[in-house]
A and B are shown apart, each in its own frame.
Chain A
Amino acid sequence: MSPAPRIRRRALVLWALAIVGVALLAAAPLVLNNYWLRVLTTVFMYAIVTQGLNVIVGLAGYHAFGNAVFFGFGAYGCGVAMTLGLPFPLALVAAVAVSAAVAGVIGWPILRLRGHYFAIATVALNLAAIQLVIQVGGITGGAQGLPLPLSDLPPGPLYRAIYLVMLAGMVVSTLLVAFILTRPFGYALRAIRDGERAAGVMGIDTTASKVAAWAISAGITGFAGGVWAYWITFIEPASAFDPAIGVKAYMMLILGGMGTVVGPVLGAFVLEFLSTLVWGGFVTAHQIVFGVLIVAICLVAPNGMLVAGRTLIQRWRSRHGAA
């Protein structure tokens, strides 16, 4: 009987901490300089992308390795909508809608695949999308890239506004994952992850659930892409559909813990700060450092940093106790 109130109290403390943290972050632009504003905006952006990845990988167990494709669709959705004259908020809605719609349509054939097949199908999708945008040309700007209409705001307030939009995106996507976890839909996704056939036998419409999960994942990722496009004001196929974005988010998800609510946010903070700190010292070898970091994380903490830390502490304690 006693554990229940204790758990509730712990949850309350965590919620309070989260609210204080978000409030601090929301107030931070008042004191931060431009450099740290940019670093934090990037962290939030990756937290959103990672949270999107969490829905399909962490909850449903489908390793969408090329999920960055929706980042690109979001960026181009926003860019094209703004070129057509829509204001930024509506263009952002278009970005989310386009990404979710693409996932919905492509998901029907692709989500029938399992494991490795699905993973490389998403990588191939990512590669094909780059070619597709170049081919379509016209309003997407093709290989030349697409400049977005400039904002009326001066740079200072604009960057602060982007910061707040990214922060809001991170909070909302995290709450969305927390909400999904408590709904029957969330249980359906986890049932699919742990045993798809069994989930089907239990009466879960596995195909519809998977497609819905991927569409949500794509919508979240597309939101980040849309804001990013407005932020940097010039997009091109190779940078918007850069597979490295998806891989980085994947690393953050591994680091933070798959299928957890705050794991993706923690992972984004740790990895992005780590890379920002380390990369300052290796200007010409960014990719080498990143590559080595990937291998190191997979070797040392394949189940996330919390599990790795706990194992380390346990090992230390048992050695200490034995001695």
Chain B
Amino acid sequence: MLWQATTNGLLLGGLYGIATIGFSMVWGVMGVINLAHTGFIMLGAYTTYGLYHWVGLDPIASIPISMAAMFALGYVLQVLILNQIIRTSLLLSLVVTFGIELVMVDAVSNAFTSDVRSVNASYAASSIELFGVLIPVVRLVAAGFSIALGIAFYAFLRFTRAGQMILATALDREVAALMGINPERIYALTAGAGAALAGATGSLASMLFPIMPGMGLTFLSAVFVITVLGGIGSVEGCIVAGFIYGLVQAWSGYYLGANYQEIVGFALFLLVLVLRPQGLFGRAFFGEHA
């Protein structure tokens, strides 16, 4: 049973990691704490649900579509609202993004009602047995896609011109501007990319969790803990911390009972903040805006 719990924790950890990368990047690059991030996750899940329900599209196949849709939404919101807010006060971003999240959740509950929805892929019920441990195929697929997306995003940051521009702006906004980079466009690009990753998370989560307007909130504590544990703005930190968080959750569920998971998560969060606020992989420049 312990091995089963460990396996479950690791599989979920992958999803937690990808759920956090966008949030962590946005914080690291522009110092915005995006509380609407979990709203993008929820919208991604509903995009997949809508495509599955009305068009009959496979949940996996809908990932690119929900990513594209969320990229557009994240980009537009950054240009129209957040870029204006950043000029006045960074801490206002908390309030503003909370407001955006409220609008998203309420719009969806008006459009789809608060009823719980679900998508059932053809492979949903099947699972593999390995050394006595049961591995549900959907979870394996979700974890695999999460890791692949994480690696792809890491490669995008390191090896493309746009990624290098994002990193340069995070490092030093003024010097980046002197090099001919337009910081506000880079911010919009980062916000779009972060929202796209959240959209992918939502598509993957729609196969594992019940789909409802408030589903994003279940990710919020995980996103906070993993961001801080991994180090603000660190992609590899998010992936590693995601697995750690998944394991801690699984083990605390196994030893203490499922209801203590949130409290153990909060304890872990406090411990990291007090002992190692820069996280496992945080470097000096990330999050300096705070």
Contact = CB atoms under 8 A, between A and B. Distances in A.
Nearest to A251: B95
Contacts of B110: 284-285, 288
Contacts of A287: 102-103, 105-106
B228 A117 contact: yes
B187 interface: no
Interface in B51-101: 81, 84-85, 88-92, 94-96, 98-101
Nearest to B265: A128
Q: For the side of the interface on B, what is the size category?
A: 35 or more
A298 B263 contact: no
Given A117-B277, A127-B266, A288-B106, 13 more contacts: A63-B94, A65-B94, A109-B274, A116-B90, A124-B266, A127-B262, A128-B262, A128-B266, A285-B106, A287-B102, A291-B101, A293-B99, A298-B95
A248 to B, nearest CB: 10
Nearest to A118: B273
A294 B85 contact: no
Contacts of A65: 94-95
Most chain B Cβ neighbours within 10 Å, of A125, A290, A298 = A298
A150 interface: no
Interface string A219-233: 000000000000000
9 A-B pairs with least C-beta separation: A294-B99, A287-B106, A291-B102, A291-B103, A128-B266, A116-B290, A131-B262, A115-B290, A291-B99
Nearest to B275: A109
B96 A63 contact: no
B227 to A, nearest CB: 8
B162 interface: no
B126 interface: no
B107 interface: yes
Nearest to B99: A294
A115 B96 contact: no
B202 interface: no
A286 interface: yes
B70 to A, nearest CB: 18
